[in-house]
């Protein structure tokens, strides 16, 4: 007899892979592209179709579960009680539209606020990052090793260039000394993949001033499983149902950046 979470995990994996197929098949069809909050904030028919695909299957199979999705076909949730699927049908829509790669499906499943199951599927590379709480994190069949500490000067930091220019979310003078100090910076245009890469040790840290629950829900579960540290910019707990600043990194590195860059700047 499968445990409840094993059953959920099995269905979630099946639906994530099927949704990936739907997205791949869409490349031979015409894409409908619209804008949301501003001319650079894109959404396509596929973002909507993939979210609706998950919702249909979840509601049929697990009618008591709650769903939070970026495109708004789920619910507006005030409480973390019960089982909640937090879904980003396509993370990296701009990449999906412009590059047809470097996007992912992100699904995080929380029970009473605790992250239990995470999937991030890089569809084009066929890399499925997945984790269950307490059972390690994997990329396809390969178990991801625990993260080792690294110093700032040897670190690769993921960061969008926007945040080192004048903007209204973070003072660039906080980040520019850090950008100077690290070995290198990278930007992939998809928060979910950036979080998965931190879990996989391909990136040492990722800093971004504003993410929504569907951007980070799955990634945080992966990072927890490999001993990474995940907080907001204040170094405190991330609120699952709200937008947060997000700072994730290897142990040691996270503390060093928090103390020597973020906290120094606020003193
Ligand atoms: P999306 O593609 O699902 O919208 C791009 O740097 C990353 O930021 C992507 O993960 C993108 O997710 C996310 N993103 C885009 N617009 C955002 C917004 N207004 N708030 C928070 N995250 C956003
Ligand atoms: Ca979006
Ligand atoms: Ca997203
Ligand atoms: Ca999205």
Asked if residue 173 and residue 262 are part of one domain, the reply reads yes
pLDDT at 267: 75
How many Å lie between the centroid of ligand 3 and the Cα of residue 41? 11
CA distances from 72 to 67, 120, 133, 192, 203 (A): 10, 20, 27, 18, 31
Rounded to whole angstroms, how far apart are CA atoms 138 and 226? 10
In this structure, the answer to whether residues 127 and 165 fall within a common structural domain is no
Q: Is 244 in the pocket of ligand 1 (CB under 6 A)?
A: no
> Among 111, 143, 175, where does a domain finish?
143
The complex's ipTM works out to 0.96
What's the CA-to-centroid distance between 212 and ligand 4, angstroms? 10
| End-of-domain residue from the set 143, 172, 188 | 143
Q: Give the number of C-alpha atoms closer than 13 A to the C-alpha of residue 18, restricted to the C-beta side.
A: 13
pLDDT for position 265: 76
**Per-residue pLDDT tens digits for 65-81:** 999 999 999 999 999 99
Tell whether 162 and 185 lie within a shared domain: yes
**Is 92's C-beta closer than 6 angstroms to any atom of ligand 1?**
yes
The answer, yes or no, to whether any atom of ligand 1 lies below 6 A from the CB of 47, is: no
Angle at 95 between CA 94 and CA 98, to 5 degrees: 85
Q: Exposure pattern of 176-189 as b/e (b: 16+ CB <10 Å)?
A: eebbebbeebeebb
258 CA from centroid of ligand 4 (Å): 28
247 and 223 assigned to the same domain: yes
What spacing in Å lies between the alpha carbon of 190 and ligand 4's midpoint?
9
Which of the residues are catalytic?
70, 88, 90-91, 93, 215
Q: What is the CATH number of the domain that holds 177?
A: 3.40.190.80
In the listed set 103, 124, 143, which residue is the last one of a domain according to the structure? 143
pLDDT digits (tens, 9 = 90+) for 202-222: 999 999 999 999 999 999 999
Q: Ligand 1 in contact with 160 (CB < 6 A)?
A: yes
Q: Are residues 105 and 157 in the same domain?
A: no
Domain at 103, CATH number: 3.30.540.10
Instruction: Based on the fold, state whether residues 200 and 135 are members of the same structural domain.
Output: no
Give pLDDT < 70 ranges for the chain.
1-2
Distance from C-alpha of 100 to C-alpha of 83, rounded to nearest angstrom: 33
One domain, residues 127 and 198: no
Q: What is the pLDDT of residues 26-54, one digit of tens each?
A: 999 999 999 999 999 999 999 999 999 99
pLDDT in the model for residue 2: 60
The domain total for the chain is 2
Contact by Cβ (8 Å): 187, 159: yes
Is the same domain home to 111 and 176?
Answer: no
Residue whose CA is closest, atom 2 of ligand 1? 92
- Residue 258: which domain range? 152-266
DSSP single-letter state for residue 62: -
How far is 199 from 128, CA to CA, in rounded Å? Answer: 12
27 and 126 assigned to the same domain: yes
List of E strands, the chain: 33-35, 42-44, 66-69, 83-91, 104-111, 114-122, 127-132, 137-139, 142-143, 156-158, 184-186, 205-211, 229-231, 244-249
Binding residues for Mg(2+): 70, 88, 90-91, 215
Question: Does residue 157 sit in the same domain as residue 178?
Answer: yes
Q: Are residues 121 and 158 in the same domain?
A: no
Q: What per-residue confidence (pLDDT) applies to 266?
A: 78
258 and 223 in one domain? yes
71 lines ligand 1 (CB under 6 A): no
Beta bridge partners of 143: 138
Residue whose CA is at the smallest distance from ligand 1 atom 11: 92
């Amino acid at each position: 007899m499968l445990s409840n979470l094993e059953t959920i995990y099995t269905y979630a994996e099946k639906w994530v892979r099927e949704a990936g197929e739907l997205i791949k098949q869409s490349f031979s069809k015409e894409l409908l592209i619209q804008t949301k909050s501003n001319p650079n904030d894109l959404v396509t028919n596929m973002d909507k179709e993939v979210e609706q695909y998950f919702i249909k299957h979840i509601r049929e199979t697990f009618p008591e579960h709650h769903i939070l999705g970026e495109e708004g076909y789920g619910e507006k949730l005030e409480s973390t009680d019960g089982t909640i699927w937090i879904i980003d049908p396509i993370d990296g829509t701009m990449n999906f539209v412009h590059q047809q790669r470097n996007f992912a499906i992100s699904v995080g499943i929380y029970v009473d606020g605790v992250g239990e199951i995470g999937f991030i599927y890089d569809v084009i590379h066929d890399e499925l990052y997945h984790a269950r709480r307490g059972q390690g994190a994997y990329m396809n069949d390969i178990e991801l090793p625990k993260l080792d500490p690294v110093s700032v000067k040897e670190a690769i930091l993921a960061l969008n260039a926007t945040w080192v220019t004048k903007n209204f979310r973070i003072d660039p003078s906080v980040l520019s000394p850090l950008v100077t100090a690290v070995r290198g910076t990278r930007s992939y245009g998809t928060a979910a993949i950036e979080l998965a890469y931190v879990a996989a040790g391909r990136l040492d840290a990722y800093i971004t001033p504003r993410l929504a629950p569907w951007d980070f829900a799955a990634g945080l579960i992966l990072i927890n499983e490999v001993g990474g540290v995940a907080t907001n910019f204040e170094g405190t707990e991330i609120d699952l149902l709200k937008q947060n600043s997000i700072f994730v990194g290897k142990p040691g590195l996270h503390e060093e950046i928090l103390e020597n860059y973020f906290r120094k700047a606020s003193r």
